[in-house]
Amino acid sequence: MDDVSHLEKFNHSLLLDLPVSASAAEKVKPQKLDYFLVLDLEGKVEILEFPVVMIDAHSMEFIDSFHRFVRPTAMSEQRIGEYIEGKYGKFGVDRVWHDTAIPFGEVLREFEDWIGGHKLWKQKQGESLNSAAFITCGNWDLKTKVPEQCKVSKIKLPSYFMEWINLKDIYLNFYNRRATGMMTMMRELQIPIVGSHHLGIDDTKNITRVVQRMLADGAVIQITARRHPDTSEATGMMTMMRELQIPIVGSHHLGIDDTKKITRVVQRMLADGAVIQITARRHRDTSEVKFLFKNRIR
């Protein structure tokens, strides 16, 4: 981001905070990927911060970073103000957040330009990252939060979010001990913490330092989770119609028109060979509902 206050606050120390010695680089084992994109989102209700640090998987050297503050789309301005003051006021960056935050859709467009500029991704349907992968400290960021935010922002989940590396799994299998999070890893590996915990860009730097240490210790870091394209959830009628390429008729949120649209989806699914059956049943003597499909939208 070109905003001066943003650059001064966040971009100047990345290279200094991620040094690599020649002796450590020599210990790195051959990796299956060329680049790692370390990501640590902030925001429980909606994503508030989207920081990524890119390092070379072979030399461990810092390559580049991408950092955006994200403006929620489903929260009132008053709620946003209260939320940001509580979240970022203690770090002294609440004003920078308000001055630079942009909607999630814009963040992704700028991020796609960024990864495209590094030749890590081409905008083709189903295209994954090119010899690169996200590293997250847990599955939550890409398994749960990004898909949730895409639904709120009415964006189809991008193809480059379909696989990732859970550093907790790599840590467990390499060191044979479980780490509950970044702070545990850093404490056990005796890595000093830089910056502020729960400021996304600082947490991303610290996770990157853990990655560098693990590479220097001989870890081979590879994909640990992959989302199957055929299990992506349809968020609603409009998603179904778009994916099935069914033309929309009438007005959305006019009940009779929406009912017609849903009926057209049903007709298409029947024509495609679907067997449509009961999926839920309410017990007469309780308020509970029994769901009959194991694989279902929750």
Query: Which residues are catalytic, by number?
Result: 42, 198
What letter does residue 219 receive in the DSSP assignment?
A: P
The phi and psi torsions of 52 (rounded to 5 degrees) equal -135, 135
β 132-136/62-71 pair status: unpaired
Please give the C-alpha separations between residue 140 and each of 18, 41, 51, 167, 179, in angstroms, as whole numbers. 25, 9, 15, 12, 15
Where would I find the beta strands (DSSP E) of the chain? 35-39, 49-56, 62-71, 102-103, 132-136, 163-166, 225-226, 280-282, 289-291
Tokens, residue 72: 């929620």
